[in-house]
């Protein structure tokens, strides 16, 4: 699917190549193009031709705004931007899309993915402001005209010897300039200059003014905030807004709020591989609830790849998921989620080799035929199954790889219903066959 909306918006699906006639890149697009195509994690392929541009999308979806046109990569396999938001909703536990019907209206009006996520962010921020922003006591040190808190005698002698017009004090200040509010202001700051829907832009400006009066993003370290921010009964109502703020900030690749560069060109892209893996992880955990099995996400194992000469681990093995029988500890089935078009083409040799290693390593102790599963998106409402045997030289199989294609939209409906339908039941059947 490739469409031209108006004179400067190009829309295509993930995993698609198209040629756009009459389009060219300007000098301002160089840095943006380098960030998208350089390094080991290429998010977009783009070649300049004599008559235009050839664009190749991958598993990243969202908005890329060049100087003279805007590229929108729409997740076809996930059901468009609304389907993607529902996947984010379930994977993160937000449950925000159905509570905010305006998202559907704005999507019908042509809003981009960034507009829609920012709309949800403004809704969450407005609820927090109506309820009252969180304030906390912070310990400050400053030169004051009168004593407040505790007088710092040593600092007074060193910095203001013989002067009494200012005294160095350490005191507690009750302030709304907290990390919880600063994170929201940071997300609104970077989204405000990039959203295009006029109603969303207006709401962002209003909220930005309110939050800017309450806090500041000066010296805000986003990496530190990401690793240290925790929740308790005082700030747990911020979690939804923070989840959406991180979507905006990480989708834009913002690490330094004051980094140079024009806001006229930018990329807001989400990795469907990561999102699909997160969705499958939470959905499978819900499917296995109340059964004989449990799922373990990102199980790190240093005992599989071994340096025999040095007698120590060589590297970690980390399958996306491992399903274990509760009544028989150590009986595992490894699963990997791959957001690739395996419904239309063969499973890649690289994924086969990786999955075979998982099957052989985790299944040798208990299975007649060690197995592993690859879960990938499909466009039919029944789980498609393809089986691959890894055969020995004598023709006998030594391991089995089971590829299961799931209709993402149907799986989302089952996930939100919190009960297995056709797709979930067949997935459970495959797990039971491998582990029983």
pLDDT, one tens digit per residue, over 281-300 is 999 999 999 899 999 998 88
What are 136's strand-pairing partners?
175
Return d(Cα 216, Cα 223) in angstroms, integer: 17
What's the distance, CA 126 to chain centroid?
23
Q: What is the DSSP string of 122-143?
A: HHHHHHHHHH----EEEEEEEE
Residue among 124, 123, 159 at smallest CA distance from 144: 159
pLDDT tens readout for residues 122-171? 999 999 999 999 998 888 888 888 888 888 888 888 888 877 788 888 88
Highest-confidence range of 122-131, 216-225, 352-361, by mean pLDDT?
Answer: 122-131
What count of Cα atoms within 13 Å lies in the side-chain half-sphere of residue 174? Answer: 3
The predicted model gives 74-92 an average pLDDT of 91
Using an 8 Å Cβ cutoff, are 211 and 188 in contact?
Answer: yes
Return d(Cα 380, Cα 382) in angstroms, integer: 6
Residue 339 has pLDDT above 90, yes or no: yes
Using an 8 Å Cβ cutoff, are 393 and 404 in contact?
Answer: no
Return d(Cα 169, Cα 152) in angstroms, integer: 5
Q: What is the pLDDT of residue 260?
A: 47
Output the pTM of the full model. Answer: 0.84
Return d(Cα 5, Cα 22) in angstroms, integer: 15
Residue 341 has pLDDT above 80, yes or no: yes
Q: What is the pLDDT of residue 230?
A: 92
The CA dihedral of 256, 260, 265, 271, to the nearest 10 degrees, is -20
Per-residue pLDDT band for 256 (boundaries 50, 70, 90) equals very low
Give percent of the chain with pLDDT exceeding 70: 94
């Amino acid at each position: 699917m490739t469409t031209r909306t108006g004179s400067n918006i190009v829309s295509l699906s993930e995993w698609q190549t198209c040629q756009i006639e009459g389009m060219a890149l300007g000098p301002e697009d160089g840095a943006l193009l380098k960030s998208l195509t350089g390094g080991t994690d290429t998010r977009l392929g783009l070649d300049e031709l004599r008559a235009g541009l050839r664009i190749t999308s991958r598993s990243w979806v969202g908005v890329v705004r060049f100087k003279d046109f805007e590229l929108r990569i729409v997740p076809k396999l996930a059901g468009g931007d609304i389907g993607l938001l529902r996947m984010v909703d379930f994977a993160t536990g937000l449950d925000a899309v159905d509570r905010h019907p305006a998202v559907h209206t704005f999507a019908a009006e042509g809003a981009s993915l960034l507009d829609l996520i920012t709309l949800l962010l403004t809704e969450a921020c407005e609820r927090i402001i109506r309820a009252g922003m969180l304030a906390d006591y912070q310990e400050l040190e400053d030169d004051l005209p009168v004593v407040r808190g505790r007088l710092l005698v040593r600092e007074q002698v060193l910095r203001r010897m013989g002067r009494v017009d200012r005294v160095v004090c350490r005191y507690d200040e009750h302030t709304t300039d907290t990390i919880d509010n600063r994170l929201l202001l940071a997300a609104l700051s970077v989204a405000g200059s990039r959203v295009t829907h006029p109603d969303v832009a207006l709401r962002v400006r209003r909220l930005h003014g309110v939050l800017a009066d309450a806090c500041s993003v000066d010296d805000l370290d986003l990496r530190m905030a990401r690793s240290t921010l925790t929740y308790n009964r005082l700030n747990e109502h911020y979690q939804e807004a923070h989840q959406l703020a991180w979507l905006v900030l990480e989708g834009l690749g913002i690490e330094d709020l004051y980094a140079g560069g024009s806001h006229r060109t930018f990329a807001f892209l989400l990795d469907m591989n990561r999102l699909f893996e997160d969705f499958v992880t939470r959905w499978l955990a819900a499917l296995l609830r109340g059964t004989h099995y449990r799922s373990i996400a990102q199980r790190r194992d240093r005992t599989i790849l071994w340096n025999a000469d040095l007698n120590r681990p060589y590297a970690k093995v980390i399958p996306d998921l491992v399903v274990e029988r509760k009544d028989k500890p150590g009986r595992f089935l490894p699963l990997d989620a791959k957001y690739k078009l395996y419904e239309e083409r063969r499973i890649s040799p690289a994924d086969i080799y990786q999955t075979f290693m998982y099957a052989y390593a985790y299944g040798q102790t208990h299975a007649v035929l060690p197995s592993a599963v690859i879960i990938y998106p499909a466009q039919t409402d029944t789980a498609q199954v393809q089986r691959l045997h890894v055969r020995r030289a004598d023709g006998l199989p030594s391991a089995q790889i089971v590829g299961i294609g799931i209709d993402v939209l149907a799986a989302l409906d089952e996930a939100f219903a919190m009960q297995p339908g056709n797709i979930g039941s067949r997935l459970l059947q495959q797990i039971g066959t491998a582990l029983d």
